[in-house]
Amino acid sequence: MAPLMVHGQTTKGGGPLKSASNLPWPAPFAKQVDAPPALSPADELKTFTMPPGWHVELVAAEPLIRDPILSEFDGNGRLWVLEMPGFAVNEKIDNSFEPINTLVVLEDTNHDGVYDKRTVFADKLIMPRAFKILDKNCALIGEPPKLWKMCDTNGDLKADSKELIADTFATQGVVEHGANGLYWGMDNSITVAEHTWNVAFKDGKFTTTPTLSRGQWGVTQDDGGRIYRNVNTDPLFVDYVASHYYVRNPNLVRTSGLYESLVDQEKTQIWPAHPTLGVNRGYRKEVTREDGSASYYQGVSSPMIYRADKLPREIHGNAFVVDGPTNIVHLLKRQDDGTGTLSAEDFYKKGEFLASTDERFRPVSLTPGWDGTFYIVDMYRGVSQDGPLQTDYLRSYVLKHKLWEGIHMGRIYRVVRDGMTFDKQPNMLNETPKQLVAHLSHPNGWWRDTAQQLLVQRADKSVVPDLKKLATSAPDPRTRLQAMWTLDGLGASDPQIVLKALDDQSPDIRAAAVRLSEHWLADAGSPLRAALMKKMDDPNWFVRRQLTATFGELPGDARVAPIMAMLDKYGTDKIVVDIAVSGLRGQEAMVLEQLVKHPRPNIDAVTVLAGATGKRRDATTTQELLALGTDARQPEAVRLAILKGVSLGLSGASGAQTAQVAGGRAGGGGFGGPRRPTSAAVDLSAEPTAITTLSKGSGEAAEAAKQIVALVGWPGKPVVQATARTPQQEVMFQAGKTIYEQMCSGCHMDQGQGAEHVGAKLAGSPYVNARSSSAVVRILTHGKEGSIGLMPPAGATMSSEELASILTFIRGSWGNTAPPVSPAEVEEWKAMYASRNTPWTDEELKASSNR
């Protein structure tokens, strides 16, 4: 099949169609449209309002593309676009799992600023989530559950080879909670959002590396190489320390510094240009203002930090996000307090960077451009919320306003500042390695990133001398930094360069040098070891936190003293505490013993260390900890910290101390460390009588003791058995297990332990363990409101047999002992509450629950 050529999407005089500049801003508020029609691209442009001096240009639209969700430029400036026509294909808002999705390559053959040629690189894909362009016309493609490397070997831009990299890339379940991202970061690690592994490239091969699941949709980085992500109603999170440091200790109970929220939910606001009642929580009074517009994000995604130089300087380093449900592109001002603590706030106190009055404008992702600007991918459709997670309210809204109609369109817009100039289109795929090295000095981060990635993939070490020169003498610290990481990607890091970089004026370079020094830490005589010890008083938190992480890579007992020193100096910083404990794997109990002897012990560190020690589930160590936690000779604060920590460790629960989600919003908060099942309590040799006695009292210590009693066993302690299942119920249990893994584990985690402020804990839940299945059936069919936010009606589209299966699994797993559920029970409860169209609250469920 020949590539598709399309013309006619330009103005009469040539060039792209444009939105109007200098309209009244913030956008005048428009009235609600009962059944918003699908607009032509030209008419959709008329619905856009941007700040004075800004406009967008239409660079691609249907029929050239349809249902676009992601895009990326290759080294020659061609635009690759991932299309998902399988999303929400009918009136029932069903997703299609037929092989109908594609990855295409767009080209502008006449250089008029509008793409006119389409080549299908890969077709017959089933609900793909992510892709990453590689050298030599190859790409990584995330097609759950597979991660593929596909290549064009004959130069026609059509994939004709296919290599399986991994077969655990999410599942084909809910689109909203599936692995995505595949973002090649500055440290040459490819980050995957909302998944338990990232991707590494070494010796020409791609492999998976374990990580902790973070984020929801989209990944970006700043000029220092820090990774940023988002979740639901929270627009921007940062990794102060790389994620792999938190994985090295499976007993970690808190992960401060990984995925830290930068935006105060109570202060950030959005300003849609029309009523936005067609959102999942549109029935809630606090969601919308009196005019019907949402006051906070309803599905924020795709953070992108602008790292080029063609747009105004005030934009550089700031973060753009999209909120498709409210038809906006939002701009956040990113701030550094000067010592390495980051935050972000709304760039505009009122008004949006781009607001549309068209309810079908669905910006789903943002793409940095080679030209010095960025691009907006507009899926253009009425439905943006994944069907299985829609509330009954939203489903009714979609049907009433006919938003499920008019699908399989899509547009891509280029963001333009009036009068700006553009970079020349690149030709990197045809350039020599030496020419690529020159691009590391480019002011546009896209050029530096692309050049680095191509150099690393080509593995041509002839450029090592040129890279070393840049790493030591380039005037721009961004160039020096990326030259260092490019050398590392080539396996050519130089200890002398790293040693010099430890004293660089740029804290980002000093932090990178600390991390790169790990190549030589095993050598006790390495001058880098001594140099690292001198960096403990570095004035920047980025450097000090990285130093703490790196000390954890020292061999054996050599790590203990420097980590203890960092805890002593900077133990008020939770990030230092958690990353220190991550490096003390296997040595937590010893360090804890030393710490409690300190005249002024760090209470937070005691808690986290006790948690990590308890999570080992070693009976002897646990008994010693419990004895210490009830020893009256210890200060009360120390005893309480130990008991809280042991409880956290034994339960495997998150110890993240994040604020409640503002106004009951979804999202927010963080996740804990690696978890273990709550049903596998440690067996002690005897009853911990001091703990059982304490558990009968009241107060914080008593509450911690009660949790510990529930999590440990001893000879003679009564054991609660789960309800026996018949062979037919066992079949349902196994079917429910599969459904849970596909649809529920993303929020409630693999052992039902929940994730703080994301998904409720199911293990031990009173609703799950109630004798009657009424409450859990109602929650799954109508959703539930609570302090975490909204639990969507995930079972609203399930059959009664599917609901009964998943509830049978949940009620009989992780220590839960409630009886199985039959399809007939589900039918009865669904019929009883058939008129319900809003989620339940705790108060309503408790009032009617038969426990």
Using CA of residue 186, residue 190, residue 192, residue 195, what is the dihedral sign? negative
Q: Which residue has the higher pLDDT, 665 or 246?
A: 246
Q: Please, which pLDDT band fits residue 818 given cuts at 50, 70 and 90? A: confident
pLDDT in tens, 749-776: 777 877 765 678 888 888 888 888 888 9
| C-beta neighbour count of 530 within 10 angstroms | 9
Determine the pLDDT at residue 12.
60
User: Could you give the CA distance from residue 636 to residue 276 in angstroms, rounded to a whole number?
Assistant: 52
- The CA dihedral of 626, 630, 632, 636, to the nearest 10 degrees, is 100
Quote the pTM value: 0.87
Using CA of residue 346, residue 347, residue 350, residue 353, what is the dihedral sign? negative
Give the CB-side neighbour count of residue 435, counting CA atoms within 13 A: 8
Q: Which domains are present in the chain?
A: 4-417 (2.120.10.30), 600-719 (no CATH), 727-848 (1.10.760.10)
Buried b (16+ CB within 10 A) or exposed e, 125-149: bbbbbbbbbbbebbbbbbbbbbbbb
CA distances from 188 to 122, 200, 206, 333, 369 (A): 25, 7, 11, 27, 20
pLDDT in tens, 422-447: 999 999 999 999 999 999 999 999 99
Helix, strand, coil abundance in the chain, percent, nearest 5: 30, 20, 50
Q: What are phi and psi of 182, to 5 degrees?
A: 50, 50
Question: Residue holding tokens 């009036």?
Answer: 418
pLDDT in tens, 623-637: 999 999 999 999 999
Query: Which range has the worst mean pLDDT, 113-117, 446-450, 569-573, 714-718?
Result: 714-718
pLDDT in tens, 75-90: 999 999 999 999 999 9
Q: Please, which pLDDT band fits residue 832 given cuts at 50, 70 and 90? A: low
